[in-house]
Chain A
Amino acid sequence: MPEARPVVFVIDDDASLRRALERLLRTEGYAVEGFASAQAYLARAPYDGPGCLLLDLAMPGIDGLELQQRLTRDAASLPIVFLSGHANVPESVNAMKMGAVDFLTKPADDADLLAAVRAALLQRDTQLAARERLATLSAREREVMHLVVEGLRNKEIAARLGITEKTVKVHRARAMEKTGATSLPELVRLAAEDSPPSPPDRAQP
């Protein structure tokens, strides 16, 4: 299957800067979509393919950080590169904690900007690949994987799901095999790309 061209979503209220960023990104062969506000971006049909966000921090209405908060509630969100008018340490720390790929200060050099975008796209690729692999898991395998990631022992998982410890081991091995994870940390990282299933008995711990 031919790889779809990655899309960079540029969200900045300054029309001129937005146009300039779009041009710069197009020279790298990316597809670019520009939005004048966070609201305009949110109004767009959900995007599932390779891509990332280039997001201005200070905007009227919903600002960059707020948009990031809204988007990262959904595990499938696109990686975000922030572009800020003035470097504000608490804001940038906050953004990075929330999983931003990079936090650039305007005016940003093209090399830095494109490197950040490349990193974000790479992260997206990993994300998509992981998701693809996760999609091959059966419901039970997924359930077991998430409990493993939570740190539960096989015996505890068996008790929780009402199955034998042996069955748990089988599901666990198959999940590792299907996702290609060779270690527990790798599985943890992969599982982060998936929202855990919430069976009714998980409501009360």
Chain B
Amino acid sequence: MDAIDTPRIQAFRREVRDFVAGQLPEAIKQRTRQGFHVSKEDMRDWTAILHRQGWSAPHWPTAYGGTDWSPLQRMVFDIELALGWAPAPSPFGLHLIGPVIYTFGTEQQKQRYLPGILDGSQFWCQGYSEPNAGSDLASLRTSARRHGDRYIVNGQKIWTSQAQYADMIFCLVRTDGSGSKQSGISMLLIDMNTPGVTVRPIITQDMSHYVNEVFFEDVEVPADNLIGEENAGWRYAKFLLENERTASAYLPQAKQDMNRLREMIGALEGEHGPLSEDPVLDSQCAELELELAAHEMTIYRILTDNARSPSAAAASMIKIRGARLQQRLSSLWNEVLGVHALPLFTPGADSSYGEPGAAGAMSQFLIRRAVSIYGGTNEIQHSIIAKRGLHL
């Protein structure tokens, strides 16, 4: 394993830190600090700023506008952005469909879609889950029938994050129902403005609108919008899901969340003096720190293992543990705030009440019950580790 705290990495860290301090608009920073879901405008504007620096997609190959940074450098970059309270850009273009397009897409698709993802002007969403195809994703039923140079799409997707912002959706659709469940699936890129596409909000328990249902009724999609080969969609889907799990490893945000925890503790007093002097709480923080340290080192080890992309089992491991950390950290915010954790806050609402710093945190606490569910539940991830890691 390579040294990871070299002078070169330290210099790089400082460069990124200075960049964030100089370029991140104060208003966006303050909103990110609050902790609610990032707005479309903030994601767009910050991605554009990163793009001007050539840093909006460090993980892409240089030929497509990425960087030649090592995986470790990219993680350091993400960590510095999070610690500087930069908003996370929308992942659906940059992390999910972008790599699929430059790996499997046609020249025309690359030229048409990659620039808008890189500069943050185009938003994407992910059409995977359906009401009856959640963990059992391969049983999806949204159909695409070929008619000359078009597909006609009918069906329904659910849990579609940011569909209300999106210009495009990448969809898994059934193009053949005759063989095994996995074999008849294709991946289509669909313009959200096509007639027959309807988005309906789902309100989550934090009372926010982040996820949606997306309905397709005789939606005409040019056949050119097919990714790769017809009926080979499951392969692209798996490629993408593994990227998603690695991206969900939650290291940069965990460090941000830990800072939030320390700030909260510093601002409050308990029954017997400052909370910062409460030994029980401090011991809980200590446990979390150690868990985070193990998570962090595991990720570095995976990233620097000859720069290979992580195995499916490793991706699942850090997905599970990242989710657990997110839930534990936010539960501790809750505990630190006591009764002040209870007011319901929604983004943009009147902030004249409640404990400073509580608003976004509690919203996060509530929505984070979903992190062990989306992108493959913990139960599914454990099965992947057993099957592909332990060959059981």
**A, B co-complexed:** no
Which residues of A are in contact with B by a Cβ distance under 8 Å? none
